[in-house]
Every structure is written in structure tokens, then in C-alpha cells.
Structure 1
């Protein structure tokens, strides 16, 4: 096979019947590969076809169904080695093709074998490509809802740091699914990989990515929004989630103890755009330790793939901004890092209890609250969760989120930001442990010295 440079190389791998050849045709927008229903591999050898997607040159490699009975281990290894040698002259990404269907033990076993063959280095460049998106659409189910119903697949995408995408290979028109996949892949490739050849930092491929794709759209969709709700128990996080989504998706009751003990994500179409909302456990929940809360709340980032566009820090407009509330922004920064407030908006609930006062007046009268709003770029919003039919309040919130995204350069909070925050927190905890142990040892030494000191005798005076 001829080596092709200055292009993105996409390698389709997986078992027979998963839809590799169909997916290759979808990417290239033409019948480039032979595709038909068969229990035996239609593709006997590695086939490569080239095309252009949104001004980006791509080479698609269709491989035989791995670990089928007609292909022995030696041929499998040779197939992968040939592909690696051929495509790694340029940026190379593996698409592990899996049907959005029941994930059987046999399929799990095949995935594990493929992972072993690829090795850790290449797994970092591997994305899961789910096919059968048309069947999900027929059942009015999103890919995230499908994954929530399948614990093995849910664990699999977590293992891949939420690197996944879904294809409807029966779609007759270009609905942006291919371009959205390339946006995800290319942003991840150039932002996170350490082994990018130096030439790629200046070549035309990256310039095309930055010019033609990256600025236009968040990675998930042209208008999709991923929102995470944060705050103490009883402030109306779940009710706010229901208000945003326009229907009762989260359990919401009047209670000071947290109703939500696990992160949960719900989806809806709001003003013709896909919106996902993650509800989180309340800070200071007496049923959970602070460390347990921190670990659970951190999951919200992975549930908001490719990353939250907005964190909503929920406060009740009629509450006193006490010392406990003042701890919340520090807790959030400790969990998510200093960058998190760039992606945050204060959401005041109980807007019906303002009683003619303006929220601006309340903010102005409390310097601590005013400081928090300033830390969030002056962004705040008010909800009346008792009036869920008032969609203007939701549309106004989405508009503020859109404006914030523009101010952040079109980006979102990422998994990498969370990992950096977790690493810093771990380092700080280790330093604190050493400091406490040192102080304890010094006190013990001082106590021992004072016990035997002649200064304690009466003759001193």
C-alpha cells in the first residue's frame, strides 16, 4: 500500500458485521467499500480509500473482521503491523467499530483481544464508533441514554475517557455526523497527544483543522449544550434541571437532606437544540464524606462528554450567604481547578420570592456574594422553578451560556482540566500530610525536651 502524507488516517477495526465498511462509506460520502450483510468477512484484505471531508484530506483503512474463525492469529498480527507501518506517516486514529446493541461476552472478549494487540500507545489514539444509530433514532433514544442502560458499555467508554461517537449509516443526507466526528478526533489529537511529529505543528493539515472546523462548533454538536448543576442540598438543583429540560426528569422534593446521592444525566431538546443536564449530590451532605462527594461530583465531567459547557452554581435567592455558602466556590475550585470559574454561572432559584426586589440589589448589598459573582465573570441568572412553562427564563440562560462559550474561545471544560486539578489536589494533600507529621514530631520533641528541662526546677527563680 502506498504511503500517503498530509492526511488524517482513520483505521476501522472490529469484528465482522459491526459495520466497518458501511462506516467507511459514510465517512467518505460514497460507496468506496463493498458492504453487505454476511456472517463471514466481506473484506479479506486491508483496503484504503481517500477522500475529503470539510476540506480535510482523509485516508480510510477498512480491515478484515478481526478474530473471526477464518482468520488465524498470525494473519491478524500481520494485518495490524501492515496498517501501522502504512498509516503512521501522518496522524493516525483507530476507530473501534461496535454495534449499538447488546454487548455480549463474545464481543467483550474480541474487544479485549484487539486492545491487547494495539497496545497502550495506540489505545490512546483509539475511539469507539457505535453503529446502528438509526435504530436508536427509531426508539427515540440518545447514545448517552443507551450507554446508561448498558453497564459493560458504560465502563468501556469510561475506560476510553469518553472517546466515542455514533453513526447512522442509513442516513441519506449529510447531517454533520462525519464532521462532528472529525472535530472530536482532531481537537483531541492536537491538544493531548505528546508524540505528534514536529512537522505537524506547522503543516497545512493543522491549519485546515483550525481554520475550517475547530472554531465553528463545540465538539459534540453545532448547538448542543452540556450543563452541570452544583450546590448544597435543598437549594433546588434537581428542580432547576427539570426547568431547563422542560419536564420532570429528576426527582425533586422539599428536603434539606440530599435526594441526589449519585450523579445522573438527563437529556431533552430545548428550543430545537440538544441539551444534557447533570445533577450532582449536594455539598455538605451528612450521609457522604467530603471525599466521597468530591469523587462523585467529578463524574459529572465524564457524563458531559466531550465536557461541560457550563457549571451552574445554584443558590437560593432568599437565603443568607453564610460561611457555609462561602466555602462552595473554594470546594468547586479544589475539585475542578482554578479554570472552572471561567465556565461557571451563578443560578439563583426561588425567584418567585424576590417580592419586588431585584437580584442586582441583593448582590450589591452583600460583598461576599458580589465577589463570587465577579469571580464568575459577572454571570448570574434567576429561575422561578414553580413556573416551568416560562421558557423565556430558560432561553435567556442558554443565551448567557452561549455568550460565555464565545468568551472562552468556543471551548468547554475538558477531561484534561479535571485530571490536572486532581493531580494538583493530590500533591497538595501529600504536602499537607508531610506538614502535619512534621508538626506532630516537632511538638513531641519539644514536649520531651521540656519534660527534662532544668527550667522547670524551683531554683530558677
Structure 2
């Protein structure tokens, strides 16, 4: 049995951090006992963007570097590579170092999926390849799913709510009103816990966003500086070329004047 949870984009400039935080907590709550594999889905039809790089960085910020041991990179768009007679390995040679580093950190676990193929045998083969990588991750981690403080706190909160619910159901001598109030208090306490966890996730996301924005700003400043230096060097080069051209033209004029004088004189000097 496979439980597959489709998470929201971890770095979307158009989506509010608070919304993403709540959605991520929902996803974690669905797998509060831990996750056995994390699939990072990329497309070979697009270049590895800053947003995708930021999403992977956000993943590590949220869950720590240990998440690398559970990551598998899934590439889509295999049909186009096949049409271009290109293998995934050849395609990855031109990819930026940041993605190559990500692949290296997750043990080079990656699989390529076609989007348009109707070949059922091929589809099944690709699914089996992915499941083999999931089994490899399970073996590498001794069958233990990934968990951290967020997962543990959610699990503790859910277990506590479940236990309290059972206790309330077994209470005797309480009116329906009193039981209703107790139940309301329990759920209120649980919702407050979810709120704390959501705020924790939001804080980590904001930390990542701030750091990435600073990184992008620094890269932009460095790029502008490099462009200015290149422009200055080009201007200097153009000025030197202009001066050389003027000197050459002056030398040619002087040579021509000397030749004309020599031709008009009555003596020749060898």
C-alpha cells in the first residue's frame, strides 16, 4: 500500500507564506508517523530555475540535512529526450552545479518518466524503477521513516487528543453540557498546538525566503559589477584601438609626406 501526498509548492512568490505553512502542516499531519521517501519532481523541458533551487533549499531548511537520505529526484518529459536522441545522463551534463550537488547529496537517486507514451510496458517499467529506488531508501535507512520535531509534536498531539477523547467517552456522572465543554477544550488545545507548529513552519519558510532573497540580491550586485567592469574594459579597449588607429594614420601621412619630398628633391640618399 502506498500513501502519496502531493505537497504545495515550497517556494512560490505568488503564494502567501502563511498559506504554504498551513498546507505543509496538513501534509505532515497526513504522514505524522513519518515519511519513507521524498520525491522532488523536475522537468527536463525546463532549465533548473532559481525557484526550484529555492524549493529544495526550503525542504532542507524545514526538515534538516537528514532529508537528503530520503530524497529521490523524478524527472518528467522523457519523451522529448528520446525524440532528441539524448539520454538523461547527457542532459544532466549541461545542468547547473546546484542540481548536480543535490543529486550527489541524495546518492544520485533519480528516475526519468515519459509524459505521452501509451506503452503500458514502458510505464510499468518506469514505475518499478521508482519503487526500486524507494526500497533502496528504505534499506539505507533501516526501514525507519523520516521524522523530526514537527512530526513528533503532531504525533504526540494527535495521540493525546485520541486518549482524551476516549477518557471523556468513559466519564460517568457528567452532564452532556459538561462533556461538550471538555471536548471543546480538548479540540481548542489541539488547534493551538497546530497553530504553534504552523508558526514554526512559517518561521522556517520566512528564514529561507529572506536568505534566498539576500543571496539573489548579492548575485545581482555581483552581476551588475561584472557588467560595469566589462563595459569599462570594453570602453578602454575601444579607446586604445582608436588611439592606435589615429597614430597609424598619422604615421602613414608622415611617411607619404617624406616620400613626396624625396621625389621632388635633386639628390637621392640610399
**Length-normalised TM-score, structure 1:** 0.31
Q: Which runs of 5+ in 2 are unaligned?
A: 154-196, 211-270
Work out whether residues 32 and 151 of structure 2, in 8 Å CA contact, stay in contact via their aligned partners in 1: no
Indicate the residue corresponding to 1:406 in structure 2. 139
Distance 1:425 1:286, change over 3 A: closer
Correspondence 1:90-101 to 2 at 5 A? none
Matches within 5 A, 1:191-230: none
- Partner of residue 370, structure 1: 100
Whether the aligned pair in 2 keeps the contact of 1:314 and 1:349 (CA below 8 Å) is yes
| Aligned counterpart, 1:361 | 90
Q: CA deviation at 1:394?
A: 0.4
| Number of positions where the alignment pairs a residue of Structure 1 with one of Structure 2 | 158
User: Among residues 36, 61, 67, which one is paired with 1:309 in the alignment?
Assistant: 36
**From 60, 71, 76, the counterpart of 1:344:** 71
Mapped partners of 2:152, 2:133: distance in 1: 27
**CA RMSD, aligned part only?**
3.0
1:382 deviates by 0.9
In structure 1, what is the equivalent of residue 20 of structure 2?
Answer: 293
| Per-residue deviation, residues 437-460 of structure 1 (Å, max 9, x unmatched) | xxxxxxxxxxxxxxxxxxxxxxxx
Q: Establish whether residue 391 from structure 1 lines up as the match of residue 129 from structure 2.
A: no
CA distance in 2, matches of 1:424, 1:302: 13
TM-score, normalisation: structure 2: 0.51
Contact 1:301 1:415 survives alignment (8 Å)? no
The CA deviation string for residues 41-61 of structure 1, in whole angstroms up to 9 with x for no partner, is: xxxxxxxxxxxxxxxxxxxxx
Task: Provide the secondary structure at the position in 2 that maps to 1:315.
Answer: strand
Alpha-carbon shift at residue 391 of structure 1 (Å): 0.9
Q: Which has the higher helix share?
A: 2
Provide the secondary structure at the position in 2 that maps to 1:329: helix
Distance 1:426 1:308 in 2: 22
More strand by share: 1
Sort the Cα spacing of 1:387 and 1:302 in 2 relative to 1 into closer, same or farther, 3 A.
farther
Return the index of the structure with the highest Cα Rg: 2
Cα distance, 1:427 vs structure 2: 8.3
Higher RCO (CA < 8 A, seq sep 6+) = 2
TM-fit CA distance, 1:283: 3.5
SS in 2 for 1:281: coil
- Equivalent residue for 1:381, pick from 111, 131, 151: 111
Question: Residues 415 and 393 of structure 1: is their aligned pair in 2 closer, same or farther, counting only changes over 3 Å?
Answer: same
Are residues 352 and 428 of structure 1, via their aligned partners in 2, closer, same or farther at CA, if it must alter by over 3 Å?
closer
Cα distance in 2 for partners of 1:352, 1:427 equals 37
